[in-house]
Amino acid sequence: MTLTRSHMLLLLALLTVLAYANTTHNAFLWDDHALITNNHRIRNERYLPVAFRSDLFPDQSTGSVRYYRPLQTATYIADYALWGLSPAGYHFTNLLLHLTCVLLLALLIEQLAANRTLAFAVAALFAVHPVLTNAVAYVAGRADPLAFAAMLGAWLLWLRRRPLPFTFALLCYLAALSSRENAFLFPLLILLHSLILNRNNWRRALLDALPFALLAVAFGLWRTAVLSLAGTASHTTWTLPWTVRLQIPFRALATYLGLLAWPAHLQMERQIVFGGSWLYVLTFAGTIATAALVWLARRSRLACFGVCWFAVTLLPVSGLFSLNATMAEHWLYVPCSGLFLAVATLMPRSRIMAAVGLLALAALTARTMARNRDWQDGKRLFVQTKAAAPHSTAARVNLGLEHAQAGETNQAVKEWIASVQAAPGDSHVWNNLAAFYLKQGELVRAEAVAEESLRQAPGNVGALSRLAEIWEQRGKFPMARLCHLRAIGDSLSVPLRLEYGQFLLRQRRRSEALHIAEEACAMEPPHAEAHNLRGVVLAEMGRFDEAQAAFQTAQKLDRHSRNATRNLERLRKLRQ
């Protein structure tokens, strides 16, 4: 039976849905809370322009790594409009984005290789390989499929070689740049395509890549300007000896290839820097793997292109540069397609090989479905991550939060104390512990921990907020107010002002609270909670008509807001 294009795309769609359908049952985890559940900037479409002139993570403290990914935020705004805070909808969007990548990849490989069976094999591997689950089963991992889908769209349109499709190719590439930083590598893929597959000379190849390169440069300048205005972007600096730095790319390569060949032990917090003598074995394996890739590249023109695709897109995240990690599984999302192409190109065509391939796809799909279940709830994920990466402070901190939410006090404190011991200089770890002690009513401990957090990072707004709560509970209004004012400082943060306004309202300082609420509304008119606070203050001042208007504004700005609905109902009863 001939594999038609329609049959190929349908089979790929069914395979992708089968592998990832169970992700729609997963919860919001890890950075999902910062990007979605606690992110006021996704609550209505009026924040869309803000997304293009601000950082991905709103209201983050100074010194944290910054990202400019406005299209990612735009998709969250669309999701919130459709689903509110129901995680199933967000996971469904991730599934659709991954499916889009699968189908576009199949169409691209079909054009590059003029071989539909090869295109199906490469796209099917990409569709179900479990090493990519962190980019699909994790809502915050959406940047990978979002950027790759846009790059593939730009690539296919560029192949049309006509003015109108080329214009849309540039627009697609702009969307990719607005989604993730690895899109800056796309002009190199076009250059390689022109050189290797089209057999053009360097001059012609450079001309092919030039429009995309110029757009990348212009976008890079805009990105730098935006992040500079949003705050000084910090850069992770690895203080590692050069003897280790030289080995990291080889260790990363060996680990990545091992995961692609045998994805048995998947996790979020990999460590390839410190450990036993096995790391030197990993370095040696990476050296052998490099030689094997060179050999593979020499087997055919298509294999050469696939290896170059893999190498060019993997090299920046292989440890050559100081990033927020030495390696991460989701960084394989774009590179793995090139390797799949190179390997599949050289596979013999026979019924036995087809049967082996189908068995491999079945096994990979089952492994992906099992890995997806790790993302169903926080405790399961963080227990698994801690077991796989005992060094991970982030896993322990998040596991402590899960224990705290479940009322498991001793386990929560145990994880946070272990986190403090593992990373004594991390102020965020101290902030979590301070917040927990405060919730338990242990003010002395909470104050000591918050003070230590402030000592680690002077000006830490989290520590200042905890200290403000402590002084308020002790009845020390001037001290609490001073902490709030220090937290606000020169910041343009609306949430910090709302926190201060609520504090003033509790102290019956309604005029001051109203001033802060109105300042917050003026700073961010689309902020529903700013209007909610303004309405509450006005209601307490007896200005019911103005309060009702404020609550109605909040309700229009955030139709999923329970606060606005509750406040309107309370106001109605109050006026009866």
pLDDT tens-digit readout, 217-231 = 999 999 999 988 876
C-alpha angle 146/289/120, rounded to 5°?
Answer: 45
Domain that holds residue 562: 492-576
| Helix count and strand count (H, E) for the chain | 29, 0
Would 499 be classed as within a structural domain? yes
- Closest among 225, 147, 221, 134 to 185, alpha carbons compared: 147
Would 431 be classed as within a structural domain? no
* Cβ count within 10 A of residue 406: 12
Would 559 be classed as within a structural domain? yes
CATH of the domain at 565: 1.25.40.10
Q: Is the pLDDT of residue 490 over 70?
A: no
Would 407 be classed as within a structural domain? no
Q: How would residue 233 be classed by pLDDT, with cut points 50, 70 and 90?
A: low
The overall average pLDDT reported for the chain is 92
Q: What is the model's pLDDT at position 61?
A: 47
CA dihedral sign of residues 545, 547, 548, 553: positive
Cα 369 from Cα 130, distance rounded (Å):
8
The owner of tokens 């343009």 is 492
Would 512 be classed as within a structural domain? yes
Q: Is the pLDDT of residue 439 over 50?
A: yes
For 335-362, letters b (16+ CB in 10 Å) and e give: bbbbbbbbbbbeeeeeeeeeeebeeebe
Number of domains in the chain: 1
Amino acid letter, 560: H
Would 333 be classed as within a structural domain? no
Q: What is the pLDDT of residues 256-266, one digit of tens each?
A: 999 999 999 89
- Closest among 301, 67, 334, 333 to 189, alpha carbons compared: 334
The owner of tokens 């386990």 is 411
H runs (alpha helix) in 298-375: 301-314, 335-345, 351-374
Q: What is the model's pLDDT at position 424?
A: 74
Q: What is the model's pLDDT at position 502?
A: 96
Q: What is the model's pLDDT at position 62?
A: 41
Task: Report yes or no: 168 and 179 within 8 Å, Cβ to Cβ.
Answer: no
Q: Is the pLDDT of residue 63 over 50?
A: no
* Cβ count within 10 A of residue 36: 18
User: Pseudo-torsion of CA 565, 569, 575, 576, nearest 10°?
Assistant: 160
Task: For residues 66-85, give the mean pLDDT.
Answer: 95
Q: Alpha carbon 73 to chain centroid distance?
A: 10
H runs (alpha helix) in 391-476: 393-405, 409-422, 427-439, 443-456, 461-473
Task: Report yes or no: 334 and 144 within 8 Å, Cβ to Cβ.
Answer: yes
Q: Is the pLDDT of residue 427 over 80?
A: no
Would 180 be classed as within a structural domain? no
Q: Is the pLDDT of residue 279 over 70?
A: yes
Task: For residues 18-42, give the mean pLDDT.
Answer: 95
Phi-psi region of 489 (alpha: psi -120 to 50; beta: other; left: phi over 0): left
Helix (H, G, I), strand (E, B) or coil at 234: coil
Q: Structure tokens of 441?
A: 């009513």
Would 305 be classed as within a structural domain? no
Task: For residues 203-216, give the mean pLDDT.
Answer: 98
pTM of the model: 0.94
Cα 199 from Cα 221, distance rounded (Å):
32
CA dihedral sign of residues 496, 501, 504, 506: negative
Q: What is the pLDDT of residues 348-381, one digit of tens each?
A: 888 899 999 999 999 999 999 999 999 999 999 9
